[in-house]
Amino acid sequence: MTDATVHAIVLVLYLCVMLGVGAYFFKTSNSQSDYFLGGRNLNVWVTSMSAQASDMSGWLLMGLPGTAFLLTKNNGIAEAVWTAVGLAFGTYLNWLILAKKLRQYSEHAGNSITIPTFLENRFDDKSHLIKIISAVFIVVFFLIYTAAQFSAGAKLFNAVFGLKYETALILGAIVIVSYTFLGGFLAVCWTDLIQGILMFFAIITLPIIALTKMGGVNDTIEIASNLANLSDGFNINHWLGTDTLSFMSIISIAAWGLGYFGQPHILARFMGIRRSKDVKPARRIATTWVVITLAAATVLGIIGKAYMSTIVSADVLANMDGEKIFIYMVQNLLKGPGFAIIAGLLLTAILSAIMSTADSQLLVTSSAVSEDIFKNIFKGRLQDKHLLWISRITVIVVALIALIIASDPNSSVFDLVSYAWAGFGAAFGPAILLSLYWKRMNWQGALAGILSGGATVLIWRNFIKSYINLYELLPAFVISIVFIVVVSLLTAEPTKEIQDSYDEYLKSNI
């Protein structure tokens, strides 16, 4: 039996387990609240691991190591380090200042089960503009985001098993859609728990195996230093880029962390946790997982280049796709009967990372369509069971459109993901944060913040970034905050009922 056959068997068994989880939770999803928030009954481990697994996607095992793989060329190491630092701080702050309050207030504000519904209920928006515009943002950005995940999964199947891109694309999509369609939020979260554990195991194990093969840390660093033309080895300047990157460049790279405050698929986990007091232990688990995996992913890129330099020529190494370094290392380090099973598990971890994000995106998109659009259009005329099936059908429709978008094997994934991350972070992040902390904020300010944040991302990306090379999320986030504050102060105060509701929420959760 060849190694590729063993890899395929491991992968098929894993996919069967994922489908089994979806089938198990099919019976428990009897309402919109069940399907989208699991009845607000997630435990600490499922919440923390699901939030982080759905966040990282295949980027953790492919994108970040690929950046570090460049070594000092284009400041690869420094870019990877500051990206990881920004994301680690963003994760911690998101859990610290937003998670508990959002869990409490989303239930207090009409038992809201989606972000658009929460914002509408928080400000008693009679125009329904906040909900509709937010839902449109979610559908558009997540449609592209989901297509990116489908494409990444197809490229993995293609590289490892030699399947045609189109065949691999359909296979991955069918599995993801199936368990999301059946089990909803609970199926997605429980599979994310499994996938998060696999990702952690994979990203920690592979660098250790490679270090052992190359004779230890000192020998590996020496090889990497020679590849980077660093005669005196790596120092703090190479890791942080303080001698090559400007202060503005560092801020721009680290600004990725701001995006966390506005990502609907992550915020949904906060809203679904069983009790607000469970947020603190969940925060500790999530932060520990993120710090360790981000550090390991960064180191993996450096170790991976050092290892591959010992088995391929300099020309091959120079033309190697850094984002596939994880796959290359697994295929070369773990050969033979026993090791092939471990290799299969590690390769499955990449698929896990991709699936854990794609399923969450499908679920949030379906909630935007059924809960925030259809429910608003057909007020009182659709029963809960009808909305539930609209949600499930939406999962299929969105997946089909995403498949069409992802059908080009040469399409760029990174730019689309970066675009969507900035769009969500700037459109929703400031609005969510200020809605939880500022009593004077009104619906006009919230709407202005959502529109200005999203619009600034589009304008900056297409017309300004070529002149000012700053990640669009940072200026858009600041502009959104300014619009929220200014518009809220220039328009009427929230009604007494809204302010009283805010006061009651504060008193009940001291």
Q: What's the pLDDT tens digit per position in 181-226?
A: 654 556 666 666 777 788 888 889 899 999 999 999 989 988 888 8
Q: Which residues contact 76 (CB under 8 A, 6 or more apart)?
A: 67, 68, 69, 70, 301
Token pair, residue 84, equals: 């990881």
Q: What is the mean pLDDT of the chain?
A: 83
* Rounded Cα gap, residues 125 and 130, in angstroms: 7
pLDDT at res. 92: 96
What is the rounded average pLDDT of the residues 248-256?
92
Token pair, residue 71, equals: 């070594």
Extended beta strands in 252-398, E state: none
The count of other CB atoms within 10 Å of the CB of residue 219 is: 12
pLDDT at res. 185: 56
Q: Give SS3 for 471.
A: coil
Could you tell me the pLDDT band of residue 384, with boundaries at 50, 70 and 90? low
* Rounded Cα gap, residues 44 and 23, in angstroms: 23
123 near 435, Cβ under 8 Å?
Answer: yes
Could you tell me the pLDDT band of residue 343, with boundaries at 50, 70 and 90? confident
Please write the tens of the pLDDT for every residue from 478-497. Answer: 999 999 999 999 999 999 99
266 near 55, Cβ under 8 Å?
Answer: yes
Whole-structure pTM value = 0.84
Q: Which residues contact 447 (CB under 8 A, 6 or more apart)?
A: 125, 129, 130, 133
pLDDT at res. 17: 76
pLDDT at res. 28: 59
Please write the tens of the pLDDT for every residue from 30-56. Answer: 555 554 444 566 778 777 877 777 677
Q: Which residues contact 345 (CB under 8 A, 6 or more apart)?
A: 10, 198, 201, 202
Which residues span the domain enclosing 154? 3-508
The count of other CB atoms within 10 Å of the CB of residue 389 is: 12
Query: Does residue 72 carry a pLDDT above 60?
Result: no
What is the rounded average pLDDT of the residues 147-165?
78
What is the rounded average pLDDT of the residues 43-70?
77
92-106, 179-193, 364-378, 467-481: segment of lowest average pLDDT: 179-193
Domain count, the chain: 1
The 3-class SS string of 42-107 reads: ECHHHHHHHHHHHHHHHHCCCHHHHHHCCCCHHHHHHHHHHHHHHHHHHHHHHHHHHHHHHHHHHH
242 near 27, Cβ under 8 Å?
Answer: no
CATH of the domain at 159: 1.20.1730.10
65 near 322, Cβ under 8 Å?
Answer: yes
Q: Give SS3 for 273.
A: strand
CA 298 to chain centre: 17
CA distances from 319 to 75, 207, 312 (A): 18, 22, 11
